[in-house]
């Protein structure tokens, strides 16, 4: 969890990584994740939630696990009326390192630097979570401008269609 202020200044507030035993049945693993996420949402009350948009990789089990965990987080946020945004790994990497193909060590190094941390976040998934939050903070203003522009374009399209319909009569 990060807090953004004016410009690109962000401050780390908290980060957590949920681990479940690999030998535990899937429903119990998902339940454990859900319980931690629910508690975390109730404790921190975030304004928005950013989730990694998964895509087909070579490791299908990794994609499935990430998608299932992301679904739990999205559901928990939706139940609380919290907006949810999705960002691809390459968007996150590009936002924090300038390179959409950066490796984990580059992302971790930049997160440590951006957040002015004394030590790198551990495990690497914690750095990934912070990178995702930072990416959203930095991209949100642009996404809002794009949505506003798209809405204005739609209004113009409707007005034009109405004028054309009136002329055709």
**3-state DSSP of the chain:** CEEECCCCCEEECCCCCCCCCCCCCHHHHHHHHHHHHHHHHHHHCCCEEEEECCCCCCCHHHHHHHHHHHHHHHHHHHHCCCEEEEECHHHHHHHHHCCCCCCHHHHHHHHHHHCCCCCCCCCHHHHHHHHHHHHHHHHHHHHHHHHHHHHHHHHHHHHHHHHHHHHHC
Q: What is the pLDDT of residues 142-166, one digit of tens each?
A: 777 787 889 899 999 999 999 998 9
Task: For tokens 């200044």, name the residue.
Answer: 9
For residue 35, say whether it is annotated as part of any ligand binding site. Answer: no
Q: How far separated are the first and last CA of the chain, in Å rounded?
A: 57
Per-residue confidence (pLDDT) for residue 84, from 0 to 100: 96
Residue 154 is a catalytic residue: no
pLDDT top residue among 46 and 6? 46
Residue 91 is a catalytic residue: no
Per-residue confidence (pLDDT) for residue 63, from 0 to 100: 86
Rounded to an integer, the average pLDDT of 23-34 is: 96
Q: Is the pLDDT of residue 104 over 90?
A: yes
Q: What is the pLDDT of residues 41-74, one digit of tens each?
A: 999 999 999 999 987 666 787 888 889 999 999 9
| Mean pLDDT rounded to a whole number for the chain | 92
Q: Which domains does the chain have, with CATH numbers?
A: 2-168 (3.30.420.10)
Instruction: Give the active site residue among 14, 52, 128, 150.
Output: 52
For residue 52, say whether it is annotated as part of any ligand binding site. Answer: yes
Contact 130, 124 (CB under 8 A): no
Q: Residue 136: pLDDT band by 50, 70, 90 thresholds?
A: very high
Per-residue confidence (pLDDT) for residue 57, from 0 to 100: 66
Per-residue confidence (pLDDT) for residue 58, from 0 to 100: 66
Instruction: Give the active site residue among 47, 83, 125, 128.
Output: 125
Per-residue confidence (pLDDT) for residue 54, from 0 to 100: 86
């Amino acid at each position: 969890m990060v807090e953004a202020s004016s410009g690109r200044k962000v401050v780390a507030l908290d980060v957590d990584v949920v681990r479940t035993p690999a030998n535990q049945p899937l429903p119990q693993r998902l339940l454990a994740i859900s319980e931690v996420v629910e508690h975390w949402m109730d404790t921190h009350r975030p304004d928005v939630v950013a989730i990694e948009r998964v895509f087909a990789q070579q490791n299908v089990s990794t994609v499935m696990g990430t998608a299932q965990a992301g679904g739990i987080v999205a559901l928990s946020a939706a139940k609380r009326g919290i907006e949810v945004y999705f960002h691809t790994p390459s968007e996150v990497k590009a936002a924090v390192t300038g390179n959409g193909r950066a490796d984990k060590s580059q992302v971790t190094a930049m997160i440590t630097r951006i957040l002015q941390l004394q030590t790198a976040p551990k495990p690497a998934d914690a750095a990934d979570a912070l990178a995702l939050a930072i990416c959203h903070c930095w991209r949100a203003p642009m996404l809002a401008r794009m949505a506003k522009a798209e809405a204005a374009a739609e209004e113009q399209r409707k007005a034009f269609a109405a004028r054309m319909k009136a002329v055709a009569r």
